[in-house]
Amino acid sequence: MQRTILIFAVFLSIQSIAQRSYSPDWDSLDIRPLPGWYQDAKFGIFIHWGIYSVPAFSEVGKYSEWYWHDLMKQDSPTRRFHESTYPRGFTYPDFVPSFDALMFDPQQWADIFRQSGAKYVVLTSKHHDGFCLWPSKEANTSWGRPWNSADTGPMRDLLGELSNAVRKNNLEMGFYYSLYEWFNPLYKSDVDLYVQKHMIPQFKDVVERYQPSLIFSDGEWEHPASTWRSAELLAWLFNESSCKDKVVINDRWGKGDRHKHGGYFTTEYGAGLPNAENPWEENRGMAHSFGYSRTENYKDYNTTRELVYMLIDIVSRGGNFLLDIGPTADGRIPVIMQERLIEMGQWLKVNGEAIYGTSCWVNTCQWSEGEIPDPGSKRDQTDYDVMKLTVAPEKGHARKEILFTQKGDQLYCICPVYPKDKLTIQNLSLPTNAKVTMLGYSESLSWKQVGENIEIYTPYLTASEVPCEYAWTYKIDGIE
């Protein structure tokens, strides 16, 4: 009898240990080092593409990918547009046949991304409408109808095709994944069952199929991480999945957990995070919406110059920049978006050395004289006007005349305004053998120490001689 009790006690002890090992907490997950490729990459492309790309409508300043959600609101601009444009009784799922991807050429997309200078790509595998861009059986089962791009609409594995093309161009591939789905019947009736029967197996399926380098989770805000079983899911991801050693995650895994738990921290249409010790990333569209919106016009789009300044400013403060594009329903990247990406790539072709693989210097920037403005970087959705911060300050305000990055003993000084005659860098002492150059210009530059500052004599260049547009980088080799 005693032997039986002892064996049973040992069994319970082993079972308890097994349960504890399979019930990780955030403390154990948060200490996982972020794979190094991510912080070196600095610049990525976000892609919002799905059924919402068919109506391609958003209220000014809003997101077109929220079309179905906004359609359910009485007398909303989306509801009025829908009722005046489509036949009576026409529902959101009725858009699926028009989401045909007939012009989708994944190789052409990947070539544009490579030319943009981006180092990683993140596609919406599934947004809040639950429609999947890969052959998900869980989507079909839960919705009671074909609800993925391989079984309806395009009849193609869009995520798989793009993943292959992106990797052939030596870029990292990731995906966006929404934890919740607005109108999923199972989610609406029983959240716990939805997580167990739908979300977890679907998440594991998409991870194992495509082995992403990055997962951008979203839609977490209705429930705490314990409801989503996020810690359990991430323990599987980091310890058992086929991409466990390389995959990077964000911070959107439970209500109230942003900027607290997960991998890198996220901001959205903001200015990033000030003085952040944790890796972070600003994500935004070129205009107001992530998904393609026909209501947006030329004036709504940030210029290439503005986007380049955002990239420089974000990287100088230790962040990554995830810039979104919204393709059309038939699979075309709008030409204005292609143009912006290619022009950013042209700048990076000359100046990428000052962006990729860099870290923050002791000073992120050098301000001109004047009142230093609040850059709007304390929270998401703030008024982040990078032009006012760099080249067009308000009266009496200072501007960032130099933005700094560092790589080993090399200091990069990026100037949004081309310095006339000389560039003064304050509070910097250099050894006499330090070398100064301008990226894209072949000759070394003269410099001298003047008290606590250094003065770099900048070359006089004609318009046809300048190596790039928008901003110019002075590289100092041999900082101490």
Q: pTM of this prediction?
A: 0.94
Q: How far apart are CA 18 and CA 20, in angstroms?
A: 5
Q: In this structure, what token pair is assigned to residue 250?
A: 């964000």
- The secondary structure element, H or E, covering residue 423 is strand 422-425
pLDDT tens series, the chain, 480 aa: 333 333 333 333 333 333 333 446 788 888 899 999 999 999 999 999 999 999 999 998 899 999 999 999 999 999 999 999 999 999 999 999 999 999 999 999 999 999 999 999 999 999 999 999 999 999 999 999 999 999 999 999 999 999 999 999 999 999 999 999 999 999 999 999 999 999 999 999 999 999 999 999 999 999 999 999 999 999 999 999 999 999 999 999 999 999 999 999 999 999 998 877 899 999 999 999 999 999 999 999 999 999 999 999 999 999 999 999 999 999 999 999 999 999 999 999 999 999 999 999 999 999 999 999 876 544 444 578 999 999 999 999 999 999 999 999 999 999 999 999 999 999 999 999 999 999 999 999 999 999 999 999 999 999 999 999 999 999 999 998
**Fold (topology level) of 365-477:** Immunoglobulin-like (2.60.40)
Q: In this structure, what token pair is assigned to residue 466?
A: 């300048």
Q: What is the rounded (10 degree) CA torsion for 348, 350, 356, 357?
A: 180
**Fold (topology level) of 36-354:** TIM Barrel (3.20.20)
H-only helix segments in 240-333: 304-316
Q: In this structure, what token pair is assigned to residue 41?
A: 């990459």
Q: In this structure, what token pair is assigned to residue 397?
A: 């305000």
Return the DSSP state at 132: B
Partners of 406 in beta bridges: 359, 411
Q: How far apart are CA 292 and CA 254, in angstroms?
A: 28
Smallest Cα–Cα separation from 121: which of 341, 276, 379, 307?
A: 341
Tokens 């739908």 locate to 198
Q: In this structure, what token pair is assigned to residue 129?
A: 């409408």
From the number of C-beta atoms within 10 Å of its C-beta (0-12, 13-18, 19+), residue 160 rates as middle
Q: How far apart are CA 231 and CA 20, in angstroms?
A: 12
CA 363 to chain centre: 25
Q: How far apart are CA 6 and CA 2, in angstroms?
A: 6
Return the DSSP state at 196: I
What are the sequence ranges of the domains in the chain? Answer: 36-354, 365-477
Say if CB 264 and CB 279 are below 8 A apart.
yes
Q: Which residues make Cβ contacts (< 8 Å) with residue 431, sequence separation at least 6?
A: 478, 480
| End-to-end C-alpha distance for the chain, whole angstroms | 74
Same fold, 36-354 and 365-477: no
Tokens 């609101």 locate to 73
Q: How far apart are CA 383 and CA 187, in angstroms?
A: 35
* Cα→Cα distances 13→2, 18, 28, Å: 16, 9, 22
